[in-house]
A and B are shown apart, each in its own frame.
Chain A
Amino acid sequence: MTNAVQSDHDFEVQDIMINMGPQHPATHGVFRMVLAVDGEIVRDVIPHIGYMHRGGEKLSETMDFRQGIGFMDRTEYLAQFNAELSYVMAVEALMDIQVPERAQWIRMILCELNRLSSHFMFTGAFGTDSGVFGTAFTYAFRWREEIMDLFEEITGDRLMYAYFRPGGLAWEVTDNFAQRVKYVLDQCRQGIKDVDNLITNNEVFKARTQNVGIISAEDAIDWGTTGPVLRGSGVPFDVRRDEPYLFYDQVDFDVPVGQVGDVYDRWCVRIEEMRQSVRIVEQCMAKLQPGPIMPERMPRMLRTPPGEVYIRTEAPRGEYGIYMVSKGGNRPHRLKIRSACFTNLQALKDMSVGNYVADAVLILGSLDIVLGETDR
C-alpha cells in the first residue's frame, strides 16, 4: 500500500497510506478517505463513499408522489424542508399546479429557518473539528434547538417533517406562528453574534484556517462545487438570486462571497448567510397574509403527464436538484437527486493535496458534508 515518491534524499522514501473512516468522529458520518502522506504533507486523497447508500432513487420510482416526500427528508436530514421543496416543486412543475401565495411564503420562511438550523449545526461541528471542542458545539446546539422546537410545533416531528405537499402545505401553521418566529429570530440573532464572537475573530482559529484548503474559482466551477464552497472561492452563484423560485425575487438579500477560497472564507460565507437568512425571514413575515394553503381543487391521486423537469433550489449546502422524468401515472419513471455534497466532495483532493495531515480534518469539515445526501 505504498508508493515511492521523488525526493532529494539519498535513501528511498515512501508515502504512507493512512486510512480515515468510515468510523471516525471527524468524518461527519460514514465517510472514508485514504490519505497518502509524505511526512506531515498530504500527497493524495482517495475518498470512498457509498456506506450509506440506500437506493433512494430506485425506491422513489416505486413510491407515488405523496409517499416520495417522506424519503426526501431522509436524504438531506439536516435541511429537510429544502429537500422536500425540490421534490414538490418538480411535481408541481410537471402537473402545472399553482401554489397559493401564503403557502409559498410559509415555505420560504421554513426553508430559511432550516438554513439557519443547518448552519448552526455546521458551526458546532466545525468548532469541534478545529479544536474548540465543547464550547462551540453546546452554544450552536442551544440555538439550533430553538428552531427545532418551532419545527416540531408546526409539523409534529423533530427530524422527518414531511410537511410540504404538491400544491401547498399539509396543514395550517400554529396560531402563534408569528410570535414564535419572532422569538426564534431574536434567539438566532443572539446565537449568530455569540458564535461569531467566539470563533470568527479568534486568533488561533484564524491561524489554523486561513490559507488552508484553497480552491480557485476556476477549479471550483470545473469540479461543479456548489453552495458556500463555490461562493467561498469568489463565484457569486446563488440559485435563489440567479434563478429565483418561490418569492425570492421579492425580498432583499446579499450573496456573500469569499476572496481566497480557503477554509476561513467558507466559514465566513456561512456566518454571513445566516444573517441574510434572518433578514429574509423578517421580510417574509411582513408579507405573510391569511389565505388558503392548498389550491381549491386537487386530485385525490396525483398523476403527472409525460414530461421531465430539472428543479434546482439552494439548500444550505448548495444546489439540491431533482431531475424527474415522468411517463404518466402516479409515480416517477426516473428520479435523480443531484446532491450538493456529492460534487463538493469531488473537489476534496484538489483542496487537500499539499496541506498538512492535521488540516485534512478541517478541510473536510469546511465542506459541511451530509452523507445521507451524498450516498442517497
Chain B
Amino acid sequence: MTNEDSAPARSLDGTIWPQVDRALSGITASAERAVLDVIVSIPRDEVVRGLKALKADEALAFDYLRCLTCVDNEEEGIDVVYHLYSTKHHHNLTVKAHLAPDDLFVDTATTVWRGANWYEREAAEMFGVRFRGHPDPRTLLMPEDMTDTFPLRKDHPLAEIEVLQGEGIAWGVEE
C-alpha cells in the first residue's frame, strides 16, 4: 500500500532504518515511515530469512512478535504484515511481504517465534494464505470443514456465511 495521496512522505531520518538495512544485508528491502513505526517491505521469498536476521542482530534484537496479520488489497494481492518489538531495546518495526493474488503462500514464521502459530492459522483461514511449513495447519476460529471460503477477503460479502449454511436462513441473498 502506498501513501501517495496523504501528506508529504515522512522522512526516515532518525529512525532505526539504517540499522535494519545493515542487518538485512543481501536482501532487497525498501522502507517508508508510517504514522508511528517504520514499515519495511521484504520480498516474499526472503521474508523469513529477513525476520531471522532482524531477531538475531544484536543492535535490533526483535525477539517479540506483537501481531501478525494480512491485509487484502483486492486486485493488488495480499500483504502479510508483521509487527515486531524488542523487549531489550524497546523499539518497533513493521515488516510487510507482498503476495500476488494468484500466488498466495509464504514461509511460516513459527520458526522465528513460536507465537506466530495461532496468528498464521487465523490468517490462513481468513484470507486463504498458505503458510508453508506450518506445524499445525488446522482452522482456528472457523469450523473445521470451512476451508473453501475466506471471510476477511474483500470480495466476501457479510451475509455469505448464512447463504452457505442452507436455504432456510438465506436472508442475505438478493433475488
Contact = CB atoms under 8 A, between A and B. Distances in A.
Nearest to B143: A50
Interface stretch (A3-11, A132-140, A220-228): A220-228
A321 B66 contact: yes
A323 B67 contact: yes
A346 B115 contact: yes
Chain B contact surface mostly:
loop
Contact of B118 (A59, A328, A333, A342): A342
Contact of B1 (A62, A312, A325, A336): A325
- Chain B interface size range: 35 or more
B36 A310 contact: yes
Contacts of A325: 1, 71
A328 B5 contact: yes
Nearest to A53: B141
Nearest to A50: B141
B67 A49 contact: no
B69 interface: yes
Contacts of A223: 113-115
A342 B39 CA distance: 24
Contacts of A310: 36-37, 66-67, 83, 92, 94
B34 interface: yes
Interface string B59-94: 000011111010110000000010100010010101
B173 interface: no
Interface string A81-98: 000000000000110000
Nearest to A328: B5
A334 B66 contact: no
B118 A343 contact: yes
Contact of A319 (B66, B117, B139, B152): B66
A313 to B, nearest CB: 12
A122 interface: no
Nearest to B63: A221
A14 B142 CA distance: 31
A71 B6 CA distance: 28
Contacts, number: 103
Contacts of A312: 66
A57 to B, nearest CB: 6
Contact of A321 (B1, B5, B67): B67
A307 B63 CA distance: 26
Contact of A62 (B34, B87, B151, B158): B158
A308 B117 contact: no
A242 interface: yes
Chain A contact surface mostly:
mixed
Contacts of A308: 1, 34-35, 39
B98 to A, nearest CB: 14
A290 interface: no
A305 B6 CA distance: 6
B3 interface: yes
B31 interface: no
Given A243-B90, A310-B37, A323-B81, A58 B66 contact: no
Nearest to A322: B67
A350 to B, nearest CB: 9
A306 interface: yes
Contacts of B90: 242-243
A333 B151 CA distance: 14
A251 interface: no
A336 B6 contact: no
B29 interface: no
Interface string A362-375: 00000000000001
B151 A343 contact: no
Q: Which 5 A-B pairs have the closest CB atoms?
A: A224-B115, A50-B141, A338-B67, A336-B69, A53-B141
